[in-house]
Amino acid sequence: MTNQNPQVTSNEQRITNHESRIYIAGHRGMVGSAVWRALEAKGYTNLIGKTSAELDLRNQQAVIDFFNKEQPDVVINAAAKVGGILANSENPYPFLMENLQIQNNLIDTAHKTAVSKFVFLGSSCIYPKFAPQPLKEEYLLTDSLEPTNEWYAIAKIAGVKACEAIRKQYGKDFVSLMPTNLYGPFDNFDLKSSHVLPAMLRKFHEAKTTNAPVTLWGSGTPMREFLHVDDMAQAVVFAVEHVLPEHLYNVGTSTDVTIKELAETIQSIVGHTGELVWDSSKPDGTPRKLMDSSKLEELGWGSTVGLKEGIANTYKWYINNLNQTIKLSRF
């Protein structure tokens, strides 16, 4: 439920308007494209986006030149190197270094130019593996991370702290939003690098015709929270349109399900009736990751897309874009 009286700055004090130049880094990925659609729907007319071929965010000078030319008022960092347990485990250095390069170049250049607002997007994996549930923002850096994705997590923690430092030292409106597990149109469905929900959706779809058995990693007992990307996009718009009082906010649904429940839901929506097999030799990852999103909810944002509705919507999009989805990534 959302609060009808958000404790944020009034419309007159907002630093953005429909003519503000808003740069969305990663605008063709799942999150960035959803943010683009959400802002466009609200009447924003000066949205800026560059593909990775047009602008390599790992290249500091290229980023500086781009900012000097485009002079954005607002920057939304939805660009990142992302992936599931397998991708993180097999590529620790790129997941650490490339994410540091991307976000450091964006944050530092935004700080040194005329950018009035910076929205940094991270992940719930920044919190300790065995942190109390639900996860609160103050649990950051209180214990050790989940080993299977610590490289990505450490990079994102550095981004959060960089934005906090700029906010603290210079008083600039740099804010970090930490979403729970996201899914939706333009997700990454590659089985070697995708997250659990899109990977399951693809596996069940490909096994549907023959009802072949579907094998999934782990025991099925870990619990996960899932947020539709359109809800995440609305959280970003909310952050763009208001000066939020703190530097870090969780973004989730405050509801989680077991991986087994998720699999059975996807299986039902896809129409697969074959056997479901759990490979317990594969890692489960963090036992539970439920976000406490009350801070942002109390300010006025709230999720609206239910899990079954969101999965059905995503599956429909997947079917309609089947020839392209295996090539899609989030950045």
Beta-strand pair 223-224/257-258: antiparallel
The annotation status of 121 as a binding-site residue, yes or no, is yes
Beta-strand pair 173-179/248-251: parallel
If phi > 0 it is left, if psi is from -120 to 50 it is alpha, else beta; for residue 300 that is left
The annotation status of 179 as a binding-site residue, yes or no, is yes
The annotation status of 181 as a binding-site residue, yes or no, is yes
Greatest distance between any 2 Cα atoms in the chain: 60
CA 102 – CA 120 distance, rounded (Å): 11
127 is catalytic: no
The annotation status of 217 as a binding-site residue, yes or no, is yes
Start-to-end Cα distance in the chain: 31
The annotation status of 161 as a binding-site residue, yes or no, is no
The annotation status of 210 as a binding-site residue, yes or no, is no
The DSSP string of 254-276 is S--EEHHHHHHHHHHHHT--S-E
What the block records as the tokens of 23 is 């740069």
CA 245 – CA 59 distance, rounded (Å): 32
Name the active-site residue from 23, 44, 127, 152: 152
The answer to whether the beta carbons of residues 9 and 243 sit under 8 Å apart is: yes
Q: Which of 240, 245, 228, 197 is nearest to 302 (CA)?
A: 228
What the block records as the tokens of 81 is 């190197």
246 φ, ψ (degrees, to nearest 5): -125, 170
Residue ranges for the known binding site for NADP(+) are 26-32, 121-124, 156, 179-182, 195
Active site residues: 152
Residue ranges for the known binding site for substrate are 203, 217, 224, 284
Residue ranges for the known binding site are 26-32, 121-124, 156, 179-182, 195, 203, 217, 224, 284
